[in-house]
Amino acid sequence: MEFSRQQLAMRCVRMSILVNAGLAVLKLLTGIFARSAALVSDAVHNFADLISGVVLLFGVQLSHKQADNDHNYGHERFECVTALALALLVGGVGLGIGYHGVVQLLVWDFYAAPVPGAAALVAAVVSIAAKEALFWTMRHYARRVDSGALMADAWHNRADALASIGSFVGILGARLGWPMMDSMAAIVISLFVLKTAIQITRDALSKMTDRACDNETLQRIQQLILQHPGVLGIEKCKTRLFGNRVFVDVHILIDDASTLLQAKTIAKQVHDTVESDFPKVKHCSVHFA
Q: Would you list the DSSP string of 26-88? A: HHHHHHHHTT-HHHHHHHHHHHHHHHHHHHHHHHHHHHTSPP-SS-TT-STTHHHHHHHHHHH
Residues 108 and 192 in one domain: yes
Domain at 82, CATH number: 1.20.1510.10
Query: What is the tally of structural domains in the chain?
Result: 2
Strand, helix or coil at 255? coil
Task: Pick the last residue of a domain from 169, 193, 208.
Answer: 208
The CATH number for 221's domain is 3.30.70.1350
Half-sphere exposure for 41 (CA within 13 Å, toward CB): 34
Domain co-membership, 275 together with 157: no
Q: Assign 3-class secondary structure to 234-245.
A: EEEEEEEEECCE
- Overall size of the chain counted in residues: 289
Q: What is the pLDDT of residue 149?
A: 72
- Give the domain extent around 254: 215-288
- Give per-residue pLDDT as tens, 258-270: 888 888 999 999 9
Flag residues of the chain having pLDDT under 50.
1-2
CA distance 183 to 242: 42
Q: Tell me the pTM.
A: 0.62
Statement to judge: residues 138 and 55 lie in one domain: yes
**256 C-beta neighbours (distance < 10 Å), count:** 8
Clarify whether residues 261 and 231 are in a common domain: yes
**20 and 53 fall within a common domain:** yes
Nearest to 32 by CA among 124, 131, 117, 109: 117
Instruction: Kindly state the DSSP code that residue 189 receives in the 8-state scheme.
Output: H
